[in-house]
Amino acid sequence: MTILLPSGLKWADGFTGARTFTTDQNGRVVLPAITAVNGDASVTLSGSIPGANATAPVTVTAQVGAKIYNVVSTENPPATGIPLGSVAVGHGTYLTGDGNLVYFNTGAGVAMPLATDVSSGTTVLVGGTQSYATYVSGGIAMVQDVATGTTITAAGIPNGSTVVGHGTFLAPNGDLYYFNSGANTSVLIGSGVSSAKVALLNGTQPVVTYVSNGTAMAYNAATASFVTATGVPAGSTAVGHATYLTPDGMLYVFRAATNTAVVVSSGVSSATTALYGGTQPYVTYVTTGIPAVYDVINGTYQTATGVPSNSAVVGHATFLAPDGQLVYYNAGANAPIVLDVAVTSADVHLYEGTYPIVTYTHQLVC
């Protein structure tokens, strides 16, 4: 019997042409390994013998694996032990399809289960080096020092809340809380909250950027101080540190020191802001399909040369292209670095405040 592979499939040795096999007594053949080129697909396999033809449907399901990329060292180890189909949710951290939160320790090369029955979670680098997880397990808000394994129930956080950042939870009724693990107390930051993001000033001081009842706000957990982001249009969405995206695509950064809102760009589809070095706001965004970066302190803009158009921002200077390429933009060299292909999720954190570490998942060869 001659077997013809459809477009998108190839034999294990890379050959894509027809091959002939000997049938068994029932007229059947057992095929050797076949590889899918582009992940998920539904295709038709064709077979023929003299005087007869047959077809059979084939469903290809891509397997999703986990990896971590250190942009500075270019180390790119697979996160061994992370279940297939997981999603990157924080530094070295993945949420599996069945609700397990797992952290991959790159130094030891092992996966460390953090919790089960998790609905939301993330992990950040406190002090630039210490992995600290925030999550909701079985409806209960928790925090965990990954290195020591010390886990604390976040007292005062309503059941069924959602993690929005380090130590910060959004309750089902729109109340936003920060949990101070040192004091074992929760602080009600605001009500009627529609969006929130958390950054660590100087690597340790949580600053919550949020929108409460349509008003753009910020809260410094270390000083317990609130600021209204004057000049940011009502109904905006918090997308990063002191950064808001309006419904019509205007991107604003609020400068608390001068109490002014700066328009970064218009036509913005996605954006985030990280604190480079722990203090310097650095905006990564896509405007009218063009990837770009903005240094808030210096007021300098750069088009992210070489990053595919219409990509989506996934973290500091990092973009996910429509075709699944994960690309980091090196502003100093004005050059893109393709980290991987067929990427399905990604999260970026700055080790020691400056070294981008990208946690991601990608489709494996079938």
With cut-offs at 50, 70 and 90, classify the pLDDT of residue 48: confident
211-247: string of b/e by CB count within 10 Å (b at 16+)?
A: bbeebbbbbebeeeeebebeebbeebbbbbbbbbbbe
The full DSSP string for 13-82 is TS--S-EE----TTS------EEESSSSEEEEEEEEETTEEEEEEEEE--EEEEEEEETTT----B-TTP
Q: Using one digit for the tens of pLDDT, what is the confidence trace for 150-185?
A: 999 999 999 999 999 999 999 999 999 999 999 999
6 vs 120, higher pLDDT: 120
pLDDT value for 58: 78
Tokens of 229: 């982001």
Measured CA distances, 60 to 32, 33, 34, 85 (Å): 15, 13, 10, 15
The full DSSP string for 280-306 is EEEEEEEETTEEEEEETTTTEEEE-TT
pLDDT value for 40: 55
Residue 251: name the closest of 227, 277, 281, 207 by CA.
281
With cut-offs at 50, 70 and 90, classify the pLDDT of residue 13: confident
pLDDT value for 55: 86
With cut-offs at 50, 70 and 90, classify the pLDDT of residue 38: low
Q: What is the mean pLDDT of the chain?
A: 94
Residue 163: name the closest of 251, 217, 101 by CA.
101
Q: How far apart, in whole angstroms, are the C-alpha atoms of residue 9 and residue 33?
A: 11
With cut-offs at 50, 70 and 90, classify the pLDDT of residue 31: confident
Measured CA distances, 138 to 116, 117, 145, 205, 255 (Å): 8, 5, 19, 28, 39
341 secondary structure, DSSP code: S
- Paired with 185 in beta bridges are 180
Q: Using CB atoms within 10 A of its CB, is residue 352 exposed (0-12), middle (13-18) or buried (19+)?
A: middle
Q: How far apart, in whole angstroms, are the C-alpha atoms of residue 185 and residue 179?
A: 6
pLDDT value for 44: 85
Q: Using one digit for the tens of pLDDT, what is the confidence trace for 189-209?
A: 999 999 999 999 999 999 999
With cut-offs at 50, 70 and 90, classify the pLDDT of residue 60: low
Let me know how many helices (H) and strands (E) the chain has, helices first. 0, 37
How many other C-beta atoms can be found within 10 angstroms of the C-beta atom of residue 21? 14
Q: Using CB atoms within 10 A of its CB, is residue 26 exposed (0-12), middle (13-18) or buried (19+)?
A: exposed
33 vs 166, higher pLDDT: 166
With cut-offs at 50, 70 and 90, classify the pLDDT of residue 52: confident
pLDDT value for 62: 54
With cut-offs at 50, 70 and 90, classify the pLDDT of residue 41: low
Q: Using one digit for the tens of pLDDT, what is the confidence trace for 325-358?
A: 999 999 999 999 999 999 999 999 999 999 999 9
Q: Using one digit for the tens of pLDDT, what is the confidence trace for 219-254?
A: 999 999 999 999 999 999 999 999 999 999 999 999
Helices (H), 310-357: none
Residue 87, CA atoms < 13 Å, CB-side half-sphere: 11
Residue 141: name the closest of 178, 112, 104 by CA.
178
pLDDT value for 129: 97
User: Residue 248 is inside which H or E element, if any?
Assistant: none
